[in-house]
Chain A
Amino acid sequence: MTDISCRNLCKTFHQGDATIRALDDVSLDIEEGSFVCLSGPSGSGKTTLLNALGGLDTPDSGEITVGGQRLDLLSKSELAQLRLNRIGFVFQAYNLVPVLSARENVEFIMQVQGVRARERRSLAAAVLAEVGLEDMEERRPAQLSGGQQQRVAVARAIASKPALVLADEPTANLDSRSAAQLMDLFVTLNTERGVTFVISTHDPRVMGYAGRLISMRDGRIVADERQQPHAMAV
């Protein structure tokens, strides 16, 4: 069943006198439960596409449907609601709230969703244990390593049980070991929970995990291949 559908997406940025076509007539379908990597050099349009799929950015033209909802028909608040309940984000920079502990960062989304405190707390503990941070619940982000912070970000992204996780170069700031652990975690969540992953990367090792590899250049999809996933060599 199709989870994401894009039709003829175009997005243009202006930088001084130059016009940059970040997305140039991109059409794409992503099935539920798939593990997709968007690859390509910097400026190829991966992040713009990811932001558009998450409703963070609005394309100049074209349509995006996520979980049956047309994003261009939703208001800012409805888009926020969609992200809150359906989409988990993992960014390149760890992007945790610095004044909240690891547990509070994970609980935050559930708190906004209105999940009861007791349920929230046990879910957060379970998710943090799942990403291997059971002893670090009360640590603030500044007291965690980069890899640990990224795992907290993943825990936060999956705690609200999203159907879709959008990850923008999630391993870019991690060492090989942490990157491998993170990708193994993604694969586990994908296979065990059926969460759809769309990951932008230009790291070939990360691409190896994907069942589907979409290559982009100059805002266009230049290749769309299905492949046999394989784990990263650490």
Chain B
Amino acid sequence: MAFPVAAISTLAWRNLWRNHRRTLIMLLAITVGVWAMIFMASLMRGMTDQMVRNGLQTLPGEVQIHQRDYLRDPSVVNSMDAPGGALLARLQEAPVAAWAGRVRVPAVIASERGNRGVTLLGIDPVAEAALGSLPDELVAGRALDGPGDRGLVIGANLARRLETAVGKRVVIMSQDTQNNVAERGARVVGIYRARLQGSEDRYVYAGRAAVQDLLGIGERISEIAVTGHDYRNVAPWVPRIAAAAGTGLEVLPWTELDTFLGSMLVVQDGFALVFMVVVFLALSFGLVNTLVMAVFERVREIGLMQALGMRPGMILGQIMLESLYLLLLGLALGNLLALVTVKPLESGIDISSVAQGMEMVGMGTTLYPVLHTADMLMSTTVVIVLGLLASLAPAWRASRLDPVAALNKT
């Protein structure tokens, strides 16, 4: 005899609504629980996403190519030739969305009022703009107009510390390939504001050719930054770039360049799962109580079902199905609620009141929640799997009732 799904489904659904109030309260609890799971996950995803994007936009790119010794000693000594041949061809085809070759060296910037250690970046502004790694907001002066621009664009915080401004001259110093001091005066042409104050202090932008000229390295560069279309999915195309780059160069994805950021994704998945499980554990008490009460109130009826010839497995199935209906309804409503509450917030939540604290973890003043289908699926899986597990005990007890005792229950 086949399992009578239709018969059991009808019974389970109608039994669910026998006590409207209890079912609605439990449904509300599941809905709010599911919403909380997805909403919190979207906030966490938004935080991590922003941390990673900020991290990637402040220069690394999703993949970097440099000399094998560059990371150990990021000086001009470990520079590389501008890309050509097979590597250039590879950089110009999908899935590469943009790339930029840049000179990046430690330097000192000095004004008449003070000096600071900085990272000097010789860039091609057009290529960097395509990469999305230029500062967001220019607050004074102008942007660099090309690789040959001999002016400097510095951060607002650095300008404040150096007590300098647009139009003033500063001195920039670094080391050339012979370890001699290379220095020249340059005019501040622009002042930028970055999402992270630390970036404003650290990065000084100049035309790439001007920096190459300062360091006497000809056309050589320090690194090539590359981006694709999804920072979460760079692993498949890194080997192809590496093959084209040859053995003398190192090609690293951002997860290896910044292991803290890289580990954030994994840690966040774990946090989201733990949070969902904790929320559901709290919910499960209510769910089990609802089912225990439902079984307790229907002991005679369950005895009758047994007397009529329903096997224990069918009774178990009926109670489990009742629980499943409740869970599915709660999931549908919870997901819907999450959708209508998170979507409007995706344009950003102002968290400027805690901006200083958030900056320490690489975040700006606005939090952008991100609703991931994967999180909705994860919460659905957690709720269904744990929900059915929690329902097993009352369902099992119901299926094992002694029919005579059940029928005689008053």
Q: Do A and B bind each other?
A: yes
Interface residues of B in 52-107 (CB under 8 A from A): none
Answer whether residue B311 sits at the interface, using C-beta atoms and an 8 A cutoff. Answer: yes
Residue of B nearest to A110 (CB): B7
* A104 CB contacts on chain B under 8 angstroms: 10
How far is the CB of B405 from the nearest CB of chain A, in Å? 9
* B239 CB contacts on chain A under 8 angstroms: none
* A100 CB contacts on chain B under 8 angstroms: 10-11, 14
Q: Can you list 21 residue pairs at the A/B interface with Cβ under 8 Å? A: A56-B307, A56-B404, A57-B404, A77-B311, A80-B306, A81-B309, A81-B311, A84-B308, A84-B309, A84-B310, A89-B308, A95-B300, A97-B305, A99-B15, A109-B309, A111-B7, A112-B1, A112-B309, A112-B310, A114-B1, A114-B4
* B198 CB contacts on chain A under 8 angstroms: none
- Asked if residues B312 and A76 are in contact (CB atoms below 8 Å), the reply is yes
A9 and B94 alpha carbons, distance in the complex (Å)? 84
A81 and B1 alpha carbons, distance in the complex (Å)? 9
- Asked if residues B309 and A54 are in contact (CB atoms below 8 Å), the reply is no
How far is the CB of A40 from the nearest CB of chain B, in Å? 18
Answer whether residue A113 sits at the interface, using C-beta atoms and an 8 A cutoff. Answer: yes
A85 and B314 alpha carbons, distance in the complex (Å)? 16
* A80 CB contacts on chain B under 8 angstroms: 306, 309-312
- Asked if residues A99 and B309 are in contact (CB atoms below 8 Å), the reply is no
Residue of B nearest to A115 (CB): B4
Answer whether residue A51 sits at the interface, using C-beta atoms and an 8 A cutoff. Answer: yes
Answer whether residue A108 sits at the interface, using C-beta atoms and an 8 A cutoff. Answer: yes
- Asked if residues A111 and B307 are in contact (CB atoms below 8 Å), the reply is no
- Asked if residues B309 and A77 are in contact (CB atoms below 8 Å), the reply is no
Chain A residues near B (Cβ < 8 Å): 51, 54, 56-57, 76-77, 80-85, 87, 89, 91, 95, 97-100, 104, 108-109, 111-114, 156
Answer whether residue B258 sits at the interface, using C-beta atoms and an 8 A cutoff. Answer: no
- Asked if residues B307 and A89 are in contact (CB atoms below 8 Å), the reply is yes
In the complex where A91-B407, A113-B1, A114-B1 touch, is A99 in contact with B312 (Cβ < 8 A)? no
A100 and B407 alpha carbons, distance in the complex (Å)? 18
* A97 CB contacts on chain B under 8 angstroms: 11, 301, 304-305
In the complex where A57-B404, A111-B4, A111-B7 touch, is A77 in contact with B310 (Cβ < 8 A)? no
A76 and B308 alpha carbons, distance in the complex (Å)? 13
* A91 CB contacts on chain B under 8 angstroms: 304, 307, 407
How far is the CB of B316 from the nearest CB of chain A, in Å? 12
A109 and B2 alpha carbons, distance in the complex (Å)? 13
* Set A54, A76, A99: member contacting B307, Cβ < 8 A: A54
Answer whether residue B148 sits at the interface, using C-beta atoms and an 8 A cutoff. Answer: no
Answer whether residue B403 sits at the interface, using C-beta atoms and an 8 A cutoff. Answer: yes
- Asked if residues A83 and B308 are in contact (CB atoms below 8 Å), the reply is yes
Answer whether residue B20 sits at the interface, using C-beta atoms and an 8 A cutoff. Answer: no
Residue of B nearest to A87 (CB): B309
Answer whether residue B313 sits at the interface, using C-beta atoms and an 8 A cutoff. Answer: yes
How far is the CB of A12 from the nearest CB of chain B, in Å? 14
Shortest beta-carbon contacts, A-B, top 10: A84-B309, A99-B14, A111-B7, A83-B309, A80-B311, A112-B4, A56-B403, A77-B311, A57-B404, A95-B304
A160 and B190 alpha carbons, distance in the complex (Å)? 90
Answer whether residue B6 sits at the interface, using C-beta atoms and an 8 A cutoff. Answer: yes
Interface residues of B in 1-51 (CB under 8 A from A): 1-2, 4, 6-7, 10-11, 14-15, 18
How far is the CB of B23 from the nearest CB of chain A, in Å? 13
A113 and B310 alpha carbons, distance in the complex (Å)? 10
How far is the CB of B407 from the nearest CB of chain A, in Å? 7
- Asked if residues A99 and B2 are in contact (CB atoms below 8 Å), the reply is no
A130 and B101 alpha carbons, distance in the complex (Å)? 91
Residue of A nearest to B7 (CB): A111
A56 and B307 alpha carbons, distance in the complex (Å)? 7
